[in-house]
Amino acid sequence: MTLTTHTARKRPSEPFWLIDESLLPFDADHARRYASLMRIAGTSLAMGVIRNLLRCSEASRRTKRQSGELDAGQFSPTQVEGLRAALYFLRRYGDGLLEAERER
């Protein structure tokens, strides 16, 4: 027997955020470092997701060539370039975060 729960978030319109402020250290310096590291982790996560989306789209495009069928997982050239641009700017942002963390 399978148990299914139909629960929803209290505020579904609230954006996802990696930093749970209730778990931040009480020391201000440690809290600042923790928040900085979570921003770096979130940026890395977003970059990984975009890379995987691009890989899946490329695999879908190759499969389409072989089978001749259209696939919903394939991005348009404009979407691919937009994702590459997002990846580029996320990488620059992440590099800036890492550099700032190293200077501390």
pLDDT for residue 38 = 85
Q: Please give the tally of structural domains in the chain.
A: 1
Residue 1 lies in a domain: no
Residue 12 lies in a domain: no
Residue 62 lies in a domain: yes
Residue 94 lies in a domain: yes
pLDDT for residue 65 = 66
Residue 70 lies in a domain: yes
pLDDT for residue 12 = 47
Residue 60 lies in a domain: yes
Question: CA-CA distance, 75 to 83, in Å (whole number)?
Answer: 10
pTM of full prediction above 0.75: no
3 state SS for the chain: CCCCCCCCCCCCCCCCCCCCHHHCCCCHHHHHHHHHHHHHHHHHHHHHHHHHHHHHHHHHHHHHHHHCCCCCCCCCHHHHHHHHHHHHHHHHHHHHHHHHHHHC
Residue 79 lies in a domain: yes
Residue 19 lies in a domain: no
pLDDT tens for each residue of the chain, 104 residues long: 455 555 544 444 555 555 566 766 778 888 788 888 888 999 999 999 999 999 998 888 887 766 655 566 788 889 999 999 999 999 999 999 999 989 88
Domain residues for the domain of 87 are 28-103
pLDDT for residue 79 = 93
26-28-34-23 Cα dihedral, nearest 10 degrees: 20
